Amino acid sequence: MAPPRKGDLTASMAILGLVVQQADTVNGLGTRLVERFPHGQWSRSVAHNSLPSLEKQGFVHMTERGGERALDRYEATPEGVDEFRDWLRTSSAAPLALRDAVHAKLELAGEEDVPDLILAIRAEEQACALEFAAASSRLNLEWQRKRLNPPGGSATGGSELSGRVRSALMTDEAMLWGMRARRLRRLRRELEEPTEDDRLEDTDE
């Protein structure tokens, strides 16, 4: 298996970044990982698995031993901070590998499998549309609460830069879900006979 590219986000790099932001226990890091990257589909146990390797590389060290392994506290070393900053500045060396499950299923499916795949694509499309709606709602709510940075102004309770970063992240999340939903809809429509609902959607567009 090819090693991850330097600019890619791995579980270990996510954990290292969290430790650089704030020293924490193993349990605390696992919880923060799931909360900060909810769509990464990482489990809390990732922290248990990643920290020994990071410690062996000299990127983190234990500052306090807890009553159990999950309560051991870690902080980043200067080398760990340098490694994380280097990752921040580095883009991936090549375009993302196209390993899309939908593509693979269609490539490998027989004709008899296509109707079921269409149903699966429709279900994923609807799930992405719901995620898009939820992300858009969160973004609008943050604007209403003035927690994001408006043009030429500053977010309430935060710096101008942090407001811009939060706005960019939340907008990008909504866009990614929206693009995923639209892409799946186009793919589905190419595979099936148009329905009346699709004709109406085309008219709306």
Which carries the bigger pLDDT value, residue 77 or residue 10? Answer: 77
pLDDT over threshold 70, residue 185? yes
103 vs 123, higher pLDDT? 123
Q: pLDDT by residue (tens digit) across 20-79?
A: 999 999 999 999 999 888 878 888 899 999 999 999 999 999 999 988 999 999 999 999
At 146-163, the pLDDT tens digits run: 777 655 555 445 567 777
Distances (CA, A) of 20 to 33, 98, 141: 13, 31, 30
**Where do you find CATH 1.10.10.10 in the chain?**
11-89
3-class SS letters over 112-134: HHHHHHHHHHHHHHHHHHHHHHH
- DSSP structure class, residue 156: T
What CATH class does 11-89 carry? Answer: mainly alpha
Beta bridge partners of 76: 60
Place of tokens 């710096």: 159
Percentage of residues in the chain with pLDDT exceeding 90?
50
Mean residue pLDDT of the chain comes to: 84
Q: At what angle do helices 101-108 and 114-144 cross, to 10 degrees?
A: 170
Ranges of H-type helices in 39-159:
45-56, 78-89, 101-108, 114-144
Q: What is the pLDDT of residue 133?
A: 95
pLDDT score at 6: 58
Sign of CA dihedral 37, 136, 95, 84: negative
The closest alpha carbon to 46, from 64, 22, 70, belongs to: 70
Residue 19 three-state SS:
helix
Cα four-point dihedral sign 112, 114, 120, 123:
negative
Q: Is residue 1 pLDDT above 50, yes or no?
A: no
- Rounded CA-CA distance 40/51 in Å is 18
Does 128 have pLDDT greater than 70? yes
Average pLDDT on 162-185 reads 90
